[in-house]
Chains A and B, each alone.
Chain A
Amino acid sequence: MTDLLTLIVAKYNYWLYVILMMIGLYAMITKNNLIKKLVGMNIFQTAIILFYVSIGYKRDATIPIIQNAHGGHDAHNAVIHAADYINPLPHVLMLTAIVVSVATFGVAMALAVRIYQRYQTLEEDELRMRLVDVGPKE
Chain B
Amino acid sequence: MDNYPALIVIAPLLAALFAGLAVWIKERLSYPIALLGLGISTFSAFKVLMQVINSGTIQYRMAGWAPPMGIEYRIDLLNAMVLLLVSSIAFLNLVASFKSVEQETNDRAGSFYTIYLLFVTGLLGVTATGDLFNLYVLIEITSLTSYAMVALGDRNRGPLASLNYVFIGVIGASFYLLGVGYLYLKTGSLNMIDVANILSGIHGSSTVLTAFILIMIGIWIKMALFPMHIWLPNAYSYSPMAFARVVAPLMTKVMVYVMIRLMITVFGYDYIFDTLNLSDAVVWLGTIAILAGAVMALSQTNLKKMLTYIIVCEIGYMVGGAWLGNELGMTGAVLHILNDALMTFALFLAVGNMVYKLKTVELTDLKGLFGKMPWTMAGFVLAAFSIIGVPPTCGFFSKWYLILGAFEAGAYHFAAALIISSLICAVLFFKVFEICFFEPMAHDHGESHPPVKIKEAPISMLLVSGFVSLSLIVVGLYSGTIVNTIILPFLK
Chain A residues packing against B (C-beta within 8 Å): 25, 28, 34, 37, 41, 44-45, 48, 51-52, 55, 89-90, 93, 96-97, 100, 103-104, 107-108, 110-112, 114-115, 118, 127, 131, 134, 136-138
User: A100-B140, A107-B144, A111-B151 given as contacts; is B156 within 8 A of A138 (CB)?
Assistant: yes
User: A45-B170, A96-B137 given as contacts; is B156 within 8 A of A107 (CB)?
Assistant: no
Residues of B within 8 A of A37 (CB): 167
Residues of B within 8 A of A115 (CB): 159-160, 163
A-contacting 9-mer, from B177-185, B340-348, B369-377: B177-185
A95 vs chain B, min Cβ distance (A): 11
Interface string of B330-354 (1 = CB under 8 A from A): 0000000000000000000000000
Instruction: Determine the distance from Cα of A45 to Cα of B144 in the docked complex, in whole angstroms.
Output: 15
Chain B residues packing against A (C-beta within 8 Å): 133, 136-137, 140, 144, 147-148, 151, 154-157, 159-160, 162-163, 166-167, 170-171, 173-174, 177-178, 181, 184-185, 302, 360, 362
A45 nearest in chain B by CB position: B174
User: A48-B177, A115-B163, A134-B156 given as contacts; is B144 within 8 A of A103 (CB)?
Assistant: yes
Instruction: Determine the distance from Cα of A136 to Cα of B301 in the docked complex, in whole angstroms.
Output: 10
Instruction: Determine the distance from Cα of A41 to Cα of B167 in the docked complex, in whole angstroms.
Output: 7
Pairs of residues from A and B, 3 with the lowest C-beta to C-beta distance, nearest first: A114-B159, A111-B163, A100-B140
Are A138 and B140 in contact, with the CB atoms below 8 A? no
User: A48-B178, A127-B160, A138-B154 given as contacts; is B167 within 8 A of A107 (CB)?
Assistant: no
Residues of B within 8 A of A110 (CB): 151
A41 vs chain B, min Cβ distance (A): 5
Are B181 and A55 in contact, with the CB atoms below 8 A? yes
B152 vs chain A, min Cβ distance (A): 10
User: A34-B163, A48-B181, A115-B159 given as contacts; is B171 within 8 A of A28 (CB)?
Assistant: yes
Residues of A within 8 A of B144 (CB): 100, 103-104, 107
Q: Which residue of B162, B171, B178 is within 8 Å of A25 (Cβ)?
A: B171
B170 nearest in chain A by CB position: A41
Are A51 and B178 in contact, with the CB atoms below 8 A? yes
B184 vs chain A, min Cβ distance (A): 7
What are 11 A-B pairs with beta-carbon distances under 8 A? A44-B170, A48-B178, A51-B181, A55-B181, A100-B173, A104-B147, A111-B162, A118-B156, A127-B160, A137-B362, A138-B154
